[in-house]
Amino acid sequence: MNDPSPITDSRARRTPRRPRRVRALGRGRSGGDGEVAAAVRLDRRTKNLTKRLQPGEVAVIDHVDLDRVSAEALVSCQVGAVVNVAPSISGRYPNLGPQILVEAGIPLLDDVGPEIFTRLSEGDQVRVAGSSVLKGEDVVAKGTAQTAETVQTAIDEAKAGLAHQLEAFVANTMEYVKRERDLLIDGVGVPEVATRISGRHALIVVRGYHYREDIAALRPYIREYRPVLIGVDGGADALLEAGYRPDMIVGDMDSVSDAALTSGAEIVVHAYRDGRAPGLKRVHELGREAVTFPATATSEDIAMLLADDKGATLIVAVGTHANMVEFLDKGRAGMASTFLTRLRVGSKLVDAKGVSRLYRSRISTWSLLFLVIGAFIAMTTAVFMSPAGDVIRPLLADRWHAFLFWLTGLFT
């Protein structure tokens, strides 16, 4: 569950690739002066919208303080333009999403108001020109066109008020301690699961920052240690994309595919503290059974608490949130639970964030080639100069002639 908490709401970094201004299924096109004409897709939840967004189309979202993960998803979809009902950066904290969009050359129109959802329908042809959204010749919405300069100014102003957000974060942390001290201290409420975790490593994958690169970098570790693979919502799809079948899926099931849910993994549905589990209905509709885990933490937190309680000797986290800026970038006060969860499991937690960029091999292709040539010369010299060469040379000659005979037979 991304944010069941009732607490007060208050893979060197890779540069996102610039989306091509292409015609999306014959619809999208770019005009002069940054004008974009294309079909429109509307959804109040950005992560749902990106599942059906086609290259070049205009995305209409309702996302206050657009976070980095959502922005990178929009960039990867090669969106033509983004129209936000709400402010993409409200000034509460220096969120990273708007900067990613403008650096990728994607027009961003902010704070157009919720009426656009009633004035447009899915698939309508629209134009985003300057600070306006037009359908035909009618202006259906007006807002603030963001630029690199306006975004940077907003970020600077948000940094100045960051202390207030830190105070609110501390207050929410104390509130969470009061609500979940039994779970944090004694593990009260952790469900029984069928997957054997005791004595094994657990690899927890969240579809967060640089998760693809970090999973790829961990392939030798996965191959050698064979950890329990736990996908947190869309993290299960990340594992499938990398060629692994998750052993367990944890979350509220709002951003995981049917393919992942029917892959054979054990399913743990994140429920509200009162026992309500909206995601359980979807699991049952797919003919799968699940256990529920009621908690006011985030889904990645309960995955860590579950692995710790069931005896995992090491917890390796991919794509999770590791610092204060990332906590705030999720835009939820409930991220206080993540801070406390990391304190709870800290003795066995290894964060794989950035492991793909921690070390890159410095051995070039030419160096490897010279190494092979050197080894070949050394072996040849040993064969011809050593006393055993008289025995080895005839054997090598026979092998060579047999190879030539086989090769000749392919063409005769």
Per-run averaged pLDDT (10 residues), the chain, 412 residues = 42 39 40 77 90 94 89 92 94 86 94 94 94 94 94 86 68 70 72 95 88 88 93 94 96 92 96 89 94 88 92 91 59 60 83 62 66 78 69 73 74 64
Contact residues for 183 (Cβ-Cβ < 8 A; gap 6+):
189, 190, 295, 297, 305
Using CA atoms, how far residue 337 sits from 79, 103, 258, 324, in Å, is: 33, 32, 28, 12
Nearest of 316, 299, 300 to residue 214 by alpha carbon:
316
The whole-angstrom distance between residue 267's C-alpha and the CA centroid of its chain comes to 20
Using CA atoms, how far residue 306 sits from 66, 292, 392, in Å, is: 30, 12, 61
The whole-angstrom distance between residue 384's C-alpha and the CA centroid of its chain comes to 57
What are the b/e assignments for 20-40, b being 16+ CB within 10 Å? ebeebeebbbbeeeebbbbbb
Contact residues for 218 (Cβ-Cβ < 8 A; gap 6+):
203, 316, 318, 352, 355
CB 85 within 8 A of CB 117: yes
Q: Helix count (H) and strand count (E) of the chain? A: 17, 16
CB 259 within 8 A of CB 240: yes
The neighbouring-strand residues paired with 292 are 269
pLDDT of the residue at 277: 92
DSSP 278-315: THHHHHHHTT---EEEE-SS-HHHHHHHHHHHTT-SEE
Region class of 123: left (phi > 0), else alpha (psi between -120 and 50), else beta: left
- From the number of C-beta atoms within 10 Å of its C-beta (0-12, 13-18, 19+), residue 154 rates as buried
pLDDT of the residue at 14: 40
pLDDT of the residue at 27: 42
pLDDT of the residue at 9: 40
Helix (H) or strand (E) holding 117: helix 116-119
- Distance CA(222)–CA(244), nearest Å, equals 10
DSSP annotation of 229: E
* Identity at 397, one-letter amino acid code: A
Contact residues for 28 (Cβ-Cβ < 8 A; gap 6+):
21, 22, 36, 37, 38, 39, 54, 55, 56, 57, 58, 80
Q: Which two tokens stand for residue 350?
A: 């290894």
Bridging pattern class, strands 144-146 and 108-110: antiparallel
